[in-house]
């Protein structure tokens, strides 16, 4: 699987759970995440990455400082939850915007411990977990980890 295929599967899976999801391929504005969403009275953003193998250190070559800053700034402004979602061939990892900067450069295990991990490769598994997490109470618990 590559990143585009992973993103499409995530989008389709979230739609099956009743989410309104929009992909963004903005050539004019910089750093806009791949997906925006609305569900359960909340809206937010997800930057999607896919790694073909799990590195020893949490470093994603095409995750820029600008993308991280955009997620943090938008989350701070009250735009709803903002996440980095990283898929791998064996697992998927969801990090709140405020945990991404701390994850970058850390050992893989320590980095992904800052978020939610699904130990299944199929994107539908992460969609199921995301749908369960998108309630105000659970979401605030995730966001307090930063």
Among 83, 81, 116, 21, which Cα is nearest to 9's?
21
CA distances from 62 to 4, 65, 76, 112, 140 (A): 13, 10, 23, 17, 28
Tokens of 58: 């949490």
**What pLDDT, on a 0 to 100 scale, did the predictor assign at position 40?**
85
**What pLDDT, on a 0 to 100 scale, did the predictor assign at position 30?**
87
Stated pTM of the model: 0.91
Q: What is the mean pLDDT of residues 111-124?
A: 92
**What pLDDT, on a 0 to 100 scale, did the predictor assign at position 121?**
86
**What pLDDT, on a 0 to 100 scale, did the predictor assign at position 100?**
97
CA 118 vs. chain centroid, Å, equals: 12
Q: Tens of pLDDT along 58-116?
A: 999 899 999 999 999 999 998 889 999 999 999 999 999 999 999 999 999 999 999 99
Q: Tens of pLDDT along 9-19?
A: 999 999 999 99
Q: Tens of pLDDT along 124-146?
A: 999 988 888 777 655 565 555 54
Dihedral class, residue 53 (left if φ above 0, else alpha if ψ from -120 to 50, else beta): beta
Can you name the residues that pair with 48 across neighbouring β-strands?
85
> In this structure, which CATH number among 3.50.50.60, 3.30.200.20, 3.30.70.980, 3.40.1350.10 belongs to the domain 3-143?
3.40.1350.10
Sequence ranges of the domains in the chain? 3-143
Q: Tens of pLDDT along 23-64?
A: 998 778 889 999 999 998 889 999 999 999 999 999 998 999
Q: How many residues does the chain have?
A: 146
């Amino acid at each position: 699987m590559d990143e585009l295929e992973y993103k499409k599967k995530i989008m389709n899976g979230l739609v099956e759970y009743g989410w309104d999801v929009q992909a963004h391929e903005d050539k004019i504005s910089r750093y806009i995440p791949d997906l925006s969403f609305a569900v359960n009275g909340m809206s937010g953003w997800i930057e999607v990455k896919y790694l073909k193998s799990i590195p020893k250190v949490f470093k994603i070559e095409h995750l820029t400082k600008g993308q991280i800053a955009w997620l943090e700034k938008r989350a701070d402004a009250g735009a709803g939850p903002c996440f980095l979602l990283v898929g791998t061939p064996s697992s998927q990892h969801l990090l709140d915007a405020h945990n991404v900067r701390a994850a970058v450069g850390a050992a893989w295990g320590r980095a992904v411990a800052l978020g939610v991990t699904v130990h299944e490769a199929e994107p539908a598994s992460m969609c199921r977990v995301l749908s369960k997490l998108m309630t105000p109470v659970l979401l605030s618990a995730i966001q307090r980890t930063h």
